[in-house]
Structure 1
C-alpha cells in the first residue's frame, strides 16, 4: 500500500550498511509496503546513491541528540544520544501507518502483518520486560505527536539518554493497558545471550521473524570469509546465534556489496581489508595500541570510502585519540589521510617485523 511504509534510520555510513541489509531482506521477502530511510548529513553522497536503489524514499533530517552523558554512561553506550533522531519518523505524515525498524535488524520472513497493529505496538525489552524495545514498533505519523515528544525530551529528558527511555515514558501505558499492543518476541528477537534466554530460544526460535543485533558489536564489525560463507573468529561470548550473523553477511555480499562497488562507495582494497581484519584484531589486542571498541569501529569503516580523489587533501592537524575515535563513530574517518588503508597496512607491517 502506498500510504504505509517500513521506516529506518542511518546516522553514518556504518549504519547505512545495516539499513541496506534490512531493506534487502524486506525486499527479498516480498513486502508490499514502501521502504523509507531517514539519514543525517554524516551519510556520504555515494552511500545515498546506493540507498536510493533499495529504498523508495531517502529523507535527509537533522541530528537530534539528548546530550545526556550521565545516563548514557550508565549504559556504557555514549553513541546512543543521537538515537533521538529517530523521532523524525513521526514527521512522515504522507503515510497513514508505519513500522519503524532499527538499522541493526533483519527480517527472516514477510512481516507485513505488523501493519494490522495499532500505535504504539512493540515487543518487550529482554532486559526490562515492563518496557518495550524501540528497535521495532508500529506507529502513526503525526506532527502533533512529534512536537509532544520533542517537548517531553526538552522538559524531562530520557531515563536512559536515548530514544527508548523517552518513548517508554511517552507511551507509559504500554505495559498495562492493551495486550494487543504487545508484539510477540519473534518480531524483535535478540541476537545476544541473556540469562534463561537460550531454553526459550530452542522452543520459539524457529518461528522468529525479525532478528535484532543488540549491543555495541554489529554484524558489519565482524570479519567474513566469502569462501566458507561464514563469519570468522567472532570471539564474542554474548553472540548466542552466529547463524544470524552468517545470514546477515550472505545478504550483504549477495545484494549490497555489488551496489556499493557499482556506485563507488567501496574501495578496490576492500577485499584486502577483509582479509587483514582478523590480523588487525589479534595484533591490536596483543600489542595494546588501541582499545577493542576502537578496533571494531576501524574494521567496520575501512572498506567504505568516498570516491578516490586525484589530489589527496593535506593532512589534518593532529588530534587526540578521543577526537579521532569520535570521528570514526560519526562516520567521518580521514580515509584519504591518517586513516587510509595504506597507513593502516604500514601500522600492521611495523608489528609484523
Structure 2
C-alpha cells in the first residue's frame, strides 16, 4: 500500500491505523502473502549483515526494526500502534516512510539520510537495500554455486511432483520432459467414437502431471478424463533383472522367476474408451531398454484389455515410438508428431500380457518344444532365410532346407536373395524347396565399405512377407533336427538368449507387416546397433522380446569358463540320438568350409570354442542326403583347401593337445575342383594367412561378430 490519507476523526484515525497495521486497504484488498512471508527472512538477513557492515550498523538496525515481525505488522512502524502521530510530533501524510520524528530515535533509516534531506529519500534507500538483498539471495541460489546435494534434492522434488500426479513417488525415471502439443492430441481424439452408452468417451490418464490433467480437461471437455494410479517399480529392479543373460531353463536348481511389476489401480467395474499414457524417452543409447518405459506400456495395455468387447484405444505420447510388438503398427489409427493412437485387439493384448514381463522366465515351457502343434492355417506359416551380398552361404541354405524336410515339416520355405546371387544358385535353391524372392540390398550406414555387415540390414525384408501371419527366420548356418512348428504359436519377437540382455536373431519368430518394415528401414540412421549388425539393431527396436528355450537355437559353442560338467552336458546335447535340440547353430567356421573328416575349428586356437565333431558329423549326414547336383554347391575352392592345410600345419607345430591335426584327410572334395582352369590350380600358403575369393570374413571378425 503506497500510503493512507489522514483520518477526519480520532475514531477514523484509529481505523486508519488498523488498516495500515493489518496491511488492508479501504477496498479490502489483502497484501500478497508471498511478500509478507519474505519480510521476516529479510529482517534476519539484514541483522546478519551487521557482521560485515559495522559502519552501517545503525541503518541496518533501523531497517530490521522497521520490518521486524515482532509486532506482526509489516507496513507501518510499530511505534504508531502505541502513540498517536501528533504525540510523537510526526506528520501524517502517509503510514509508511512519511512519519518522521525530529529525534532520530524514531526515524527509521535516518542514519542513511543526509542532514536536512527530505523524507522522500527513504523510498530510494529502501529500494536500494531490497535490491541488494535480492541480488545477494539470487547469487546464493544460482545453479553455478548451489551445492550438489541441494541440486539433487531440488531435481528429485521436481520429479516427484511430475510423476503420475503422485507427490510421494520416488525419482524413478517415469517423468517425461516432453512438452505436449495439445493440437496433436485433439486431432487424435477426434478419431475416437463416443462411448457405447452414447456419453462422452471415458479416458484414463497415465503418467500425466497435475497441470497436464487440468489442460486435458480444459482442452477436451467433451471427454470424461480421470487419472489412473500406478506405483513405480522399485529402484532395485534393473533391465538386467528383467533380461538376465542366463536362467535355469531346465529348473535343475529351481524355477526362474521375474520381478513383480505393480499393476494399475483401476476399479473392477471401470472401463475406458481411451487409455492415454505419456512415455519417457531419453534419446540415448539403449533408450528402449528402460524399466519405467516398459512398465508404463504394459500398464496401459492392461487397462485397455480389461474389457475386451470395448476395444479401447491406446494413445501414447512420446518422442520415441512405442514397442512395435506390443502396440502393432497395423492397429495404428492415427499418428501426428509425438502422438500415436492405436486400437489394439483386446484378446491379442491378453495373450501378450500373459507372457513373462521379460526373458527372466521362459515364454515357452521347456517341455513344450516336444508337444504336437496343430495350426488352424498352416498355409499362413513359413520358414524363411536370406542370402545377400555373397554366395558363401548357398551351401548352408541348401542343407538347411534338406534338414527342414527331413524333420517332417511341410510348411512353405522362402529364401530372400539379392542381386549378387546368380541364376545358377537361385535354381539350386528352388530345387531344394525354397521359394526364391528377389530383394534389394539395404545398406548399414554405420558399416565400413566391403565389411561383413555392410548389407545385413537386408534382413528387414522379412517383414514384407505379408502373405504369412508368422514366419520362423533361420540363419543359413542352422541345421533343423526336430519339427519347429510349435514356435509358430509364439508372438513377435520370440528368440533365444545371446549375451547380456540380448536375443540371438539366428532363430526368431516374426509377424510380417509392411509398416513394421518401414519402421525398421526408416530408422537406420538414428538407431545404433550394439554389435554393428542387424542383430544389435533388432534388439534396440524389439527390446521387449520373449525367451525361447535354448534348444530352439542351440549354439555350437563351449563358453569360456564353463565347468567340465557343463561342457560335457553340451556335448551330450549335440551328440544326442535321437536329437533333443530343435536346431543347431553352427557358429565359427562352417562345416562346408572344413574337410568333412573333422571340425576344422580345432586347428585355430581362437576358434576351438566353436569345435564339435559330433555336430559336424550330423551336418554332413544331412548334406549327404541331398541330390548329387545340390551337393556340388558345397565344394571347396583351392584357396580354402590351402588355408585348411596351413591351419593344420600350425596346429602340428604347436603340438595341439586335441590331435586333430594328425587326422588323415579322406574327404573326396580334396581332389575335386570347384571351378575351371586357373581356379583349379593347387595353392599353398607360406607363412601367412590370406583370405581367398570365397572366404571374406577373417577369423577375428568371426569371433567379434558372434
Q: Partner of 1:223: helix, strand, or coil?
A: coil
Closer/same/farther in 2, CA of residues 266 and 18 from structure 1, 3 Å limit: closer
Alpha-carbon contact 1:93-1:142 (below 8 Å) kept: yes
Matches within 5 A, 1:327-346: 328-329=694-695
Which segment is superposed worse, 201-210 or 107-116? Answer: 201-210
2:381: which partner in 1?
4
Residue 23 (1) aligns with residue 389 (2): no
Q: 1:248 aligns with which of 619, 625, 633?
A: 619
Shift, 1:330, TM fit: 6.5
The equivalent residue for 1:146 is 517
After superposition, what is the alpha-carbon deviation per residue over 1:155-203, rounded to whole angstroms, capped at 9, x for unaligned? 22322211111111001122xxxxxx21000011110211325255268
Given candidates 449, 452, 461, the residue that maps to 1:88 is 461
CA distance in 1, matches of 2:601, 2:489: 41
Q: Is the 8 A contact 1:223 1:274 kept in 2?
A: no
Give how far 1:83 is off. Answer: 2.0
Moved segments of 4+, more than 3 Å: 202-206, 230-234, 270-286, 302-305, 324-331
CA distance in 2, matches of 1:243, 1:110: 20
Show CA shifts across 1:42-76 (max 9, x none): 22222111100123411111222314248x9xxxx
- Measure how far apart 1:144 and its partner are: 0.5
Hey, what's the Cα distance between the residues in 2 that align with 1:210 and 1:253? 18
Matched, 1:184 2:549: yes
Q: Secondary structure of 1:86's partner?
A: helix
Partner of residue 44, structure 1 = 422
The counterpart of 2:473, out of the listed 90, 94, 100, is 100
For the Cα contact (< 8 Å) 2:596–2:620, is it kept in 1? yes
1:209 Cα deviation after fit: 1.3
Q: For residues 282 and 257 of structure 1, what CA distance do their matches in structure 2 show?
A: 29
RMSD: 3.6
Q: Does 1:198 align with 2:198?
A: no
Equivalents in 2 of 1:78, 1:285: separation in Å? 28
Are the aligned partners of 1:135 and 1:188 in contact in 2 as well (CA < 8 Å)?
Answer: yes
What is the TM-score with the length of structure 2 in the denominator?
0.36
Larger Rg: 2
Query: What are structure 1's unaligned runs of at least 5 residues?
Result: 175-180, 287-298, 313-323, 332-353
Structure with the largest fraction of helix: 1
Aligned with residue 527 of structure 2, among 141, 145, 156:
156
**Counterpart Cα distance in 2 of 1:36 and 1:25:** 15
Superposed displacement of residue 329, structure 1: 4.8
Residue number in structure 2 paired with 1:222 = 594
- Contact 1:47 1:260 survives alignment (8 Å): no
Residue pair 1:2, 1:33 contacting (<8 A) in 2 also: yes
Q: 1:237 to 1:327 in 2, by over 3 A?
A: closer
- Distance in 2, matches of 1:240 and 1:81, equals 27
Map 1:120-139 → 2, pairs under 5 A: 120-125=493-498, 127-128=499-500, 130-139=501-510
Secondary structure of the structure 1 residue equivalent to 2:520: helix
**In 2, Cα distance between equivalents of 1:233 and 1:134:** 23
1:232–1:25: structure 2 CA closer, same or farther, 3 Å change rule?
same
CA displacement, residues 267-316 of structure 1 (integer Å, 9 cap, x when unaligned): 7xx69999877535446999xxxxxxxxxxxx99x9545xx69xx9xxxx
The CA distance in 1 between the partners of 2:634 and 2:557, in whole Å, is: 29
Partners of 1:233 and 1:165 in 2: CA distance: 25
Q: Quote how far apart the aligned CAs of 1:116 are.
A: 0.9
> How much has 1:250 moved relative to structure 2?
2.1
Q: Tell me: CA distance 1:253–1:78, structure 2 relative to 1, closer, same or farther (3 Å).
A: same
Name the SS for the 2:530 alignment partner: coil
Q: Which has the higher contact order (CA 8 A, sep 6+)?
A: 1
SS in 2 for 1:64: coil
Aligned-partner Cα distance in 2 for 1:4–1:120 = 15
1:310-329 counterparts in 2 under 5 A? 325=691, 328-329=694-695
Q: How many residues align?
A: 282
Q: TM-score of the superposition, structure 1-length normalised? A: 0.69
Which secondary structure does the structure 1 equivalent of 2:426 belong to? helix
TM-fit CA distance, 1:238: 1.3
Instruction: Report if aligned partners of 1:23, 1:55 keep a CA contact under 8 Å in 2.
Output: yes
Q: Report the CA distance shift for 1:117/1:87 in structure 2 as closer, same or farther (over 3 A).
A: same
